Structure 1
Amino acid sequence: MFTHFELSESLLKAITQLNWEQPTDIQQAVIPKALEQKDLLLSASTGSGKSAAFLLPLLERLIRRKKDNTDTLALILSPTRELASQLFKDCQALAAFTDINSIVITGGESLKPQAAKIRKNPEIVIATPGRLLEHLTAKQVFLQDLEYLVIDEADRMLDMGFHEDVLNIVKACQSQRQTLLCSATLSDPAVLRLAREIMTPDAEHIDLTETQEQPSIRQQIILADDRKHKERLLDWLLQNETYDKTIIFCNTRDQADALGNVLRYHDYRVEVLHGEKQHQQRKKVMQAFTNQGLKILVASDVAARGLDIDGINLVINFDFARKGDDHLHRVGRTGRAGTEGLAISFVTANEWNLMVGIERYLGIHFEQRQIKALKGSFTGPKKLKASGKAYGSKKKKNSSKADVKKSRPAKKPTTDSGGFGVIRKKTKKD
């Protein structure tokens, strides 16, 4: 029970309103230690309740503190706008019965209204690193009184190139503070290096990723010949699977835009989300997907972290994720809070070894599925190593360009076998 943590009545009232009955494993492990003001490195599976694990002790600390006219007391850094917005909503829900104020600062919005919010002296600032640095440079935000710092999704933040930005922000904070660093993995050298640079030497590690499973999520793979074959498979799934909402992941924004256009051509109502969308566009897409009846969202990995939307019971990896952690976060958009979910990944010959590597990295086994009506020519590698990976084809030495050209198979004409084919211009006969 949450009452075991000796939280204030205002927080317990908010928890009751949210219908939370029992703390999750990560909350049980983190909250008592965070209340002791220890520096912590945290890692837990997606959907584990990690946000509340650091928000509840943060809010409790501010409630117990005598309120005076200080600058920002708590800062939560997030790698993306979507995750920052979600954290802001979570914080507001938990602080609903307190007088603690929080704001969110991200790119894509005007600096002036954000500066006006900062001048109101909120206790908690939730921000993306780039935009916060702009306000720091303009001397619109001050962190010398900061007592509580959270770096959320640190691995993702470093992947996006924010290492120096984070260090510059930390330099503006007072050294006597509590720091919590959250990451999908605590074995990443870059994450450990950042931890050494910004945390106390006795910072405690809490890693629950190895003990937490996601039995409510079925993970399947479907072998595909090429991108056109994937499009036909996707069409079949969207017509035959039962789902309330689905996210279809691509590896790049260009691929996401292209797939969105293909789906629209075939009369699906779909929106596309990626990092190059303007803030207002992204906000509009998320509103449609959250509560306006939109069932299909095509996205790059910008949506793989931080989105906590009810009703996503199907995830389709049109392109296989490049890294195990990215796959984990994609799949984690479904099966939230113990509900059942299905994750389906398309795998071509070029993606086989990537799939096997991620399977071993995450310690999972993908269920292989076949759609008989759309069975392709790729049925798996002919020769496998002991690891399960396919042997690579060896190139002949000293082969001339002419020999290479002769060895290339002739291009086959593209056909449409009952699914998606080449997009052609519609005529009046159509």
Structure 2
Amino acid sequence: MFSQFALHERLLKAVAELKFVEPTPVQVAAIPPALEGRDLRVTAQTGSGKTAAFVLPMLNRLIGDAQPRVRIRALILLPTRELAQQTLKEVERFSQFTFIKSGLVTGGEDFKYQAAMLRKVPDVLIGTPGRLIEQLNAGNLDLKEVELLVLDEADRMLDMGFSDDVQRLANECANRAQTLLFSATSGGNGLREMVAAVLRDPQHLRLNSISELNEGTRQQIITADDPAHKERLVHWLLANETYQKAIIFTNTRAQADRLYGRLVASDHKVFVLHGEKDQKDRKLAIDRLKQGGVKILVATDVAARGLDVEGLDLVINFDMPRSGDEYVHRIGRTGRAGNDGLAISLICHNDWNLMSSVERYLKQRFERRVIKELKGVYQGPKKVKASGKAVGAKKKKTDDKKGAAKAPAKRKPVAKRPAASTLVSQDGLAPLKKRKPAEE
């Protein structure tokens, strides 16, 4: 029960109103030390309830009587505008019985409108690094009195090239009392450097190892001959799988648009989401998917983070993601909050090595699946090792060929020579000198 936490009664009232009953493992682990004011570095899978794990302690710190707003007291940084919008809604839901006000600053929205909002000084500011830096450079943003800094999906912000922006914004919050950093993966050296730079004596909470992520999601691969074959497989899966909602991921905008066109031509209700879509179209696509107006979304990795859609139970990787972390975030769209999901990756010959590297990263082996009606020629790389005998025979044959290529012209056979001490010429008339051994 949430009553186990030392939360303000107004927050517990909001939790009850929202019908939150049992806290998730990440909430149980993170909320108490966060309430104590500790810096935290938390690794937990997507869909595990991370947002509430930092929003509730943050609001508990800020809660109080109504006062004139003269400073931004908390800053939440996120990688994408979709995740920022979703987080704003969560903050507003949990703070509904308080006097705390929130504001949003992301790309794709009117710059002057955001500047006017900043002049009203919200208690909590939620935003993406790029647009926040623009407002900072324009003199519209003052973060010097921020008490609490939250970095959510920190690994993704690094992947997107926001490292310098995040570091600068953290430096602007120089007087903060607490920093909370959340990510779905452990990241690499870049994330470790960020942790060392922005956190002070942090408590590390690792709720899931990579191999334990998305245990409720079946992970399959289907081999394909080419992109056209992949398109036929997508049509078959959408027609034959049982699902409420589905996302199909591509690596490029051009492929997303092409696949979207093919699906629309086949009378599927579908939206497409990628970086070239303006904010209005992106919001419409996500809202229609959440409301059930469409069942299918074709997207690039812009939607791989922060997209929380109830009933999303099928993910298809039309293109294999370029890293293990991206794979984790893609399939994290399904199998959320303890529900079951299905993730299917379509694998051509140029996808196989990527797929194998993801298997090694996750320390898992994906289920191999064949659709009989659409079975292709390509079934994965040919096995190099058959039996030891076959391999040896093949090697000997190869060596023989190499030897034949390098051997000198065939000589006539000669009689076996006597010992070196008694060597004589072939005509038997004179003894031969002892030969030096040939150089190897």
TM-score range relative to shorter protein: 0.7 to 0.9
> What TM-score, normalized by structure 2, do the two folds share?
0.84
Structure 2: stretches of 5+ with no match in the other structure? 387-440
* 2:186 counterpart residue number: 186
**1:53-84 per-position Cα deviation (integer Å, ceiling 9, x unaligned):** 11110011111589564310000001110110
Q: 1:331-364 CA deviation, whole Å, 9 max, x = no partner?
A: 1111122222111111112211211211121123
State the match for 1:238 in structure 2: 238
Report whether the alignment pairs 1:55 with 2:62: no
Q: Which residue of 1 aligns with 2:310?
A: 310
- Superposed, 1:183-262 pairs within 5 Å as 183-200=183-200, 202-210=201-209, 212-262=212-262
Give the whole-Å Cα distance in 1 for the aligned partners of 2:112 and 2:385: 59
| AA of the residue aligned to 1:296 | I
1:102-131 Cα offsets, whole Å, 9 max, x none, are 111111111111122222221000001111
Query: 1:310 is aligned with what amino acid?
Result: E
Residues in 2 aligned to 1:244 and 1:377: alpha-carbon distance in whole angstroms: 31
| Cα pair 1:70 1:145 within 8 Å, conserved | no
Deviation at 1:316, TM superposition (A): 0.7
Q: 1:371 corresponds to which residue?
A: 371
What is the CA-CA distance between 1:187 and the residue it aligns to?
Answer: 4.6
d(CA) in 1 for partners of 2:279, 2:169: 23
Could you tell me how far 1:253 is from its partner in structure 2? Answer: 1.4
The superposition leaves residues 265-305 of structure 1 with CA deviations (integer Å, 9 ceiling, x where unpaired) of 22322211011211111112112212151111100011011
C-alpha displacement of 1:158: 1.2
Instruction: State how far apart, in whole Å, the 2-side matches of 1:65 and 1:157 are.
Output: 35
Give the CA deviation at 1:175.
Answer: 3.2
Distance change in 2, residues 1:203/1:247 (3 Å): same
User: For residue 407 of structure 1, what is the aligned residue in structure 2?
Assistant: none
Contact 2:245 2:311 in 1 (8 A): yes
Hey, what's the Cα distance between the residues in 2 that align with 1:31 and 1:335? 24
Distance in 2 between residues matched to 1:279 and 1:295, nearest whole Å: 20
- Three-state SS of the structure 1 residue aligned to 2:326 is helix
Aligned pair count reads 385
SS in 1 for 2:350: helix
- Is contact 2:313-2:342 (8 Å) kept? yes
Do residues 75 (structure 1) and 75 (structure 2) align? yes
Code of the aligned partner of 1:134: E
Aligned to 2:209, what secondary structure does the other structure show?
Answer: coil
Q: Deviations over 1:139-163 (max 9, x none)?
A: 2221111000011111111111111
Q: TM-score of the superposition, structure 1-length normalised?
A: 0.86
2: CA distance, partners of 1:45 / 1:368? 24
Alignment gaps of 5+ in structure 1: 387-430
Aligned mates of 2:36, 2:6 — CA distance in 1: 12
Amino acid at match of 2:47: G
Question: Shift in Å at residue 247 of structure 1?
Answer: 0.4
For the residue of structure 1 that corresponds to 2:132, the secondary structure is: helix
Q: State which structure, 1 or 2, has the greater radius of gyration over its C-alpha atoms.
A: 2
Letter in 2 for 1:186: S
Within a 5 Å distance, the mapping from 1:328-339 to structure 2 comes to 328-339=328-339
Which residue number in structure 1 is paired with residue 5 of structure 2?
Answer: 5
Which residue identity does 1:342 align to in structure 2?
Answer: L
> Helix, strand or coil: the match of 1:262?
helix
Bigger Cα displacement from structure 2, 297-306 vs 273-282: 273-282
Q: Distance in 2 between matches of 1:270 and 1:385?
A: 45
**Does 1:171 find its partner at 2:184?**
no
Distance 1:81 1:384, change over 3 A: farther
Ranges of 4+ aligned residues in structure 1 off by more than 6 Å? none
Distance 1:364 1:64 in 2: 49
Residues 386-421 of structure 1, C-alpha deviation per residue, up to 9 Å, x if partnerless?
9xxxxxxxxxxxxxxxxxxxxxxxxxxxxxxxxxxx
* Secondary structure of 1:315 counterpart: strand
Kindly, what percent of the aligned residue pairs are identical? 53
Amino acid at match of 2:335: G
The answer for the alignment partner of 2:281 in structure 1 is 281
